[in-house]
Amino acid sequence: MFQTNALAMMLRGQGQKLLLRNSNIILRSPITIPLLRSGISSINKGCNWSSPIKRIQASHYSTSTWRRIFESDTGIDRYTRLNRFQQYGGPNNNNKKNSLGVLTFTGLGIIAGVYFISPYLFQYVPPFTYFQRHPKSLVYGILGVNFLVFGLWQLPRCWPLLQKYMLLSKTHVTSKWSLIGSAFSHQEFWHLGMNMLALWSFGTSLVQVLGVSDFFSLYMGSAITGSLFSLWYPRIARLALMGPSLGASGALFGVLGCFSYLFPASKILLFVFPVPGGAWVAFLASLAWNGAGCVLRWGSFDYAAHLGGSLLGVFYGWYIKHKIDQRREKQRRRQTVVWGSGGRSGWF
């Protein structure tokens, strides 16, 4: 998940444009179960709704080429592309607004529903039963959805739909589904690439440990929790101006948190340098960084979404470990009863 913090500036001869600052943190790391190259990234951008901003029509945006997608945005063209954030949900939007309380209860309800329904879904409902036999394919499917949404962002005719369902506004949420859709949405290829590298690295390992049902619950729960934290943070911190958010970082920090809790000693590399202490130390460092970001408000990352996903991931890791321990204890007790009854029969 990424957030946008920006200052609306009056540019001579261009009207009001959007100035966004981008920053990029990449954690590439091999892990030991199995040994894979892993990565975590997060990017944030920001919008300022302090004053009405001229709506940029799709006709003002020339059809982009694939070369432009891979290149960095500079100059006026960059402002034009990033102003897509503003086409939906400004102060003049007359669509019905969802309250923060409604969004919170909706998000928690979806998390609970996914948890209870996903076992049945993957066990009995085609084509989801395919993932039960091929766990890694679930991760590849999530990758595919993210790439599909990214492709749709390159088509101006799709922007109204994407802005409603694939962008999480902090001030005017017109669709509850943006809690989920924004976690599958990326507008820039380098943002998409770094997040999907992280998902492929950690996800293909963790899904084989948890199983498809628990992994799906973890991923969706972390994505929604990240969105809810992102919405609550401006209220708690009393920030009047917060731009919309999008990206899979909240869900990915949840995956990282769960993985680190279950396999704390797994080796993690920051670029090519091993992190002392392994996965758990790397995760705690990311937790401290995101916490400090929320307090100090540096950069332009959606630190609140990262924290939300991280906390849900750790909780899920604890819960999974607790279930495994309970299962082992029941198995041990059954074995004890069998051996004990066998001993008594021998005496009598």
Active site residue 306: yes
Based on its alpha-carbon atoms, the radius of gyration of the chain, rounded to whole angstroms, reads 22
Q: What are phi and psi of 224, to 5 degrees?
A: -70, -40
- Work out the end-to-end distance of the chain between its first and last CA atoms, rounded to an integer number of angstroms: 67
Three-class HEC string of 60-118 = HCCCCCHHHHHCCCCHHHHHHHHHHHHHCCCCCCCCCCCCHHHHHHHHHHHHHHHHHHH
Structure letter (DSSP) for residue 265: T
State residue 10 phi and psi, 5-degree precision: -90, 110
Residues 6+ apart with CB under 8 A from 63: 156
Tokens of 263: 């396999």
Nearest to 299 by CA among 9, 44, 30: 44
Six-digit token pair at 66? 């694939």
Calculate the CA dihedral of residues 313, 316, 322, 323 and round it to 10 degrees: -140
Annotated active-site residue in 169, 217, 306, 310: 306
Sign of CA dihedral 112, 117, 123, 126: negative
Positive/negative CA dihedral, 290, 291, 294, 296: negative
* Residue recorded with tokens 């390992």: 205
Active-site entry in 178, 249, 260, 300: 249
Annotation marks residue 249 as catalytic: yes
Question: Could you give the angle at the alpha carbon of 14 between the alpha carbons of 9 and 20, nearest 5°?
Answer: 40
| Alpha-carbon span 173 to 103, nearest angstrom | 9
* Residues designated catalytic: 249, 306
